[in-house]
């Protein structure tokens, strides 16, 4: 078959399976599960893969599942990723009434795109080199941290991010390039964006310990841990003038416990925060300032503070050649005017980690109104929300794996990894530490 014939057949096969793909996306939306608990979501993927007579690996990082479409000859391996997990937002009308879980980050659509790409490629894979791994991965949202800490303590996971864990387990070792797509915040039209990367982050927990006492009778006997937190917060705000614009630093704390009882001087106050920035260096630099601020709060009132820091995700780097190829195919389907390169994305993803190790892309896709994670997030355009990105992915994979000296080989050869897998894990481990400050 010619390249054009292969592509036409792939697009036809996606259209032929339109209903199955859309139903899968809708079923996943209707039964949201948060990270490392996505057993039913994975089963839905399994049901489709099982009908395809392909190699399947299940239970990867607890819930991950991958299916491999093998080409006619050995060659590069392209991974198509879909994220399985929902997040928690009790206010969303579609939220699970008990858990608050809801697909307000569009991951249900990602699974439809990943499986849709498979529908497009499975009957023409013999015309290509190498293979394609369709990979449903767990736990992208960095939430539900107590549960994940429990899994970690039990030795069931090492990392909180699903892709991080799968990298650690070696499940990406045989994959040369990775492609995924993500819903864009409040973009109802049929547009796609390639961002200039994204922020990375680390997660922090701080517990201020003072001394509880009667707030009316004997406040002088107390040490007010809430005041310690207040000073820490002011100190963090005082650092902001030192943040460089190009680093896109964000430090966003919340208070998770502000005291026990209104008539008792708060003796135990807890807080969580992220430190985000566009480079690992800026994250490290800001983190030093935040630790200093937390200690300053404790010092000011004579309290103590325990700080637990956990590696989050590294900044995203979209591979240039792979981006251009995907965007060229996107333009073919949604039109030149609806395809654009934009500035960096302020959020974070464990796809960032992946793109430090191998060429990868994380284009953003319209078809949704309402901001990501908000109660208003919803599908506006079914064709785009479930089908079109699968077509763009399929065309891109065909371009990557077609012919001698195929393009995937060139992109892989031109890519320089930021570090080896061992060095990557060393970095994550160095960003995970506990410290206690007391006088
Ligand atoms: Zn999200
Ligand atoms: Zn997401």
68-95 pLDDT, tens digit per residue, is: 999 999 999 999 999 999 999 999 999 9
Positions of the chain with pLDDT lower than 50, given as ranges: none
The domain defined by 3-197+316-403 folds into Aminopeptidase (3.40.630)
Using the mean position of ligand 1's atoms as its centre, give its distance from the Cα of residue 141 in Å: 5
The pLDDT value recorded for residue 290 is 98
- What is the tens place of the pLDDT at every residue in 174-220? 999 999 999 998 998 999 999 999 999 999 999 999 999 999 999 99
Domain boundaries along the sequence of the chain = 3-197+316-403, 200-313+424-437
Ligand lying nearest the CA atom of residue 372: 1
The pLDDT value recorded for residue 345 is 87
The pLDDT value recorded for residue 439 is 85
Q: Mapped to the 3 state alphabet, what secondary structure does the chain carry?
A: CCHHHHHHHHHHHHHHCHHHHHHHHHHHHHCCCECCCCHHHHHHHHHHHHCCCCEEEEEECCCEEEEEEECCEEEEEEEEEEECCEEECCCCCCCCCCCCEECCCCHHHHHHHHHHHHHHHCCCHHHCEEEEEEEEECCCCCCCHHHHHHHHHCCCCCCCCHHHHHHHHCCCCCCCEEECCEECCCECCCCEEEECCECEEEEEEEEEECECCECCCCHHHCECHHHHHHHHHHHHHHHHHHCCHHHCCEEEEEEEECCCCCCECCCEEEEEEEEEECCHHHHHHHHHHHHHHHHHHHHHHCCEEEEEEEECCCCCCCCHHHHHHHHHHHHHHHCHHHEEEECCECCCCCHHHHHHHCCEECCEECCEECCCCCCCCEECCHHHHHHHHHHHHHHHHHHHHCCCCCHHHHHHHHCCCCCCHHHHHHHHHHCCEEEEECC
Using the mean position of ligand 2's atoms as its centre, give its distance from the Cα of residue 103 in Å: 9
Using the mean position of ligand 1's atoms as its centre, give its distance from the Cα of residue 347 in Å: 8
Using the mean position of ligand 1's atoms as its centre, give its distance from the Cα of residue 40 in Å: 20
Tell whether pTM > 0.75. yes
Using the mean position of ligand 1's atoms as its centre, give its distance from the Cα of residue 128 in Å: 34
The pLDDT value recorded for residue 273 is 94
Does the domain made of 200-313+424-437 have the CATH classification 3.30.70.360?
yes
Ligand lying nearest the CA atom of residue 371: 1
The pLDDT value recorded for residue 159 is 95
Using the mean position of ligand 1's atoms as its centre, give its distance from the Cα of residue 372 in Å: 7
Using the mean position of ligand 2's atoms as its centre, give its distance from the Cα of residue 348 in Å: 9
């Amino acid at each position: 078959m010619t390249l054009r014939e292969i592509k036409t057949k792939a697009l036809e096969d996606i259209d032929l399976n339109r209903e199955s793909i859309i139903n899968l996306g809708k079923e996943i939306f209707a039964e949201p599960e948060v990270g490392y608990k996505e057993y039913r979501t994975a089963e839905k993927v399994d049901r489709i893969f099982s009908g395809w007579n392909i190699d399947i690996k299940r239970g990867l990082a607890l819930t991950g599942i991958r299916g491999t479409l093998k080409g006619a000859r050995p060659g590069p391996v392209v991974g198509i990723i879909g994220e399985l997990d929902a997040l928690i937002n009790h206010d969303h009308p579609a939220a699970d009434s008990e858990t608050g879980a809801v697909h307000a980050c569009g991951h249900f659509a990602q699974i439809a795109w990943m499986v849709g790409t498979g529908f497009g490629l499975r009957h023409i894979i013999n015309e290509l080199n190498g293979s394609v791994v369709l990979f449903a991965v767990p736990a992208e949202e960095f939430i539900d941290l107590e549960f994940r800490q429990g899994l970690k303590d039990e030795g069931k996971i090492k990392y909180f991010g699903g892709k991080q864990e799968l990298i650690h387990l070696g499940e990406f070792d045989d994959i040369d390039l990775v492609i995924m797509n993500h819903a864009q915040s409040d973009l109802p039209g049929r547009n796609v964006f390639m961002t200039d990367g994204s922020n990375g982050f680390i997660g922090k927990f701080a517990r201020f310990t003072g001394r509880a006492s009667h707030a009316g009778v004997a406040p002088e006997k107390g040490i007010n841990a809430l005041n310690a937190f207040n000073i820490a917060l002011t100190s963090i705000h005082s650092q902001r003038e030192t943040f460089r614009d190009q680093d896109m630093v964000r430090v966003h704390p919340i208070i998770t416990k502000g005291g026990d009882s209104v008539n008792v001087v708060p003796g135990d106050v807890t807080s969580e925060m992220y430190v985000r920035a566009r480079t690992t260096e800026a994250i490290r630099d800001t983190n030093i300032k935040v630790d200093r601020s937390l200690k300053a709060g404790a010092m000011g009132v004579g309290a103590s503070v325990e700080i637990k820091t956990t590696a989050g995700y590294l900044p995203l780097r979209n591979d240039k050649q792979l981006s251009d190829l995907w965007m060229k195919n996107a333009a073919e389907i949604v039109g030149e005017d609806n395809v654009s390169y934009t500035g960096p994305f302020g959020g974070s993803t464990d796809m960032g980690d992946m793109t430090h190790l191998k060429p990868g892309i994380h284009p953003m896709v319209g078809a949704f109104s309402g901001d990501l994670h908000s109660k208003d997030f919803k599908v506006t355009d079914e064709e785009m929300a479930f089908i079109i990105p699968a077509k763009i992915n399929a065309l891109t994979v065909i371009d990557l794996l077609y012919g001698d000296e195929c393009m995937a080989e060139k992109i892989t050869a031109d890519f320089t990894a930021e570090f080896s897998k061992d060095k990557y894990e060393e970095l994550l481990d160095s960003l995970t530490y506990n410290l206690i400050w007391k006088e």
